[in-house]
Amino acid sequence: MDEQEGAMTGTGTGEDPAAAVDPALLLADFVNTLDVESASDEIATPAGLAGWLAGRGLVPSGAAAVDADVRTAVALREGLREAMEAHHGSQEADIPDDLEDVLAALPLRVTLTGPRPALVPLDPPGATAAGLARIAAAVMDSVAAGTWPRLKTCQVDTCRWAFLDTSKNRSRSWCSMKVCGNRAKTRAYRARRRAPA
């Protein structure tokens, strides 16, 4: 919905995806596989999930997924959405149990090969679980980059689009001022006009 939409592309070069893609944008892109407003879900099927992961270089082209992978991916996505929702306030994030379970099921290890230490999946590189583990590793990369607390979801209930808050005071509430911000302000204005004096 805003400038981050469509910003993600896979490299296809076999590079480490964490090095090739901004981790915050990868996480926002993953959460946005569900368009709440239109109810379209890019990863609702095994083929859709495998295609999405391959399109971002997280698994090789032609990798296969199964229904269990879809359930894991959806739980990861919705847990991340809830965690990003908590970034609007100063409160500690109430991480859903489902997210903790999914993260525990995506085993990662630290590797010291390469330019810096990194989290890498334990699963074989072609496995869908390895692609999902790379998304989980992107959380730590985003923390290291200082962008994790700036990942938020639109405060409009019918939208909930994930975005990177680049405002100076970190107070952005909507994915787009032109669309959701304008709608919210118009509703608030109409409510004030209807209110008895």
Mean pLDDT of the chain: 83
Q: What one-character DSSP code corresponds to residue 14?
A: -
Burial label for 96, CB within 10 Å (0-12, 13-18, 19+), is: middle
Q: Residue 104 to residues 46, 108, 152: CA-CA distances in angstroms?
A: 21, 9, 23
Per-residue confidence at 190, pLDDT binned at 50, 70, 90? Answer: low
Model confidence over 74-126: pLDDT tens digits? 999 999 999 999 888 765 666 778 899 999 999 899 999 888 898 999 978 67
Angle at 103 between CA 98 and CA 108, to 5 degrees: 170
- Residues ≥6 apart with Cβ < 8 Å to 97: none
Q: Is the pLDDT of residue 9 over 60?
A: no
d(Cα 110, Cα 178) in Å, to the nearest integer?
Answer: 42
Q: Residue 80 to residues 92, 170, 188, 195: CA-CA distances in angstroms?
A: 14, 19, 29, 37
Model confidence over 161-173: pLDDT tens digits? 999 999 888 777 7
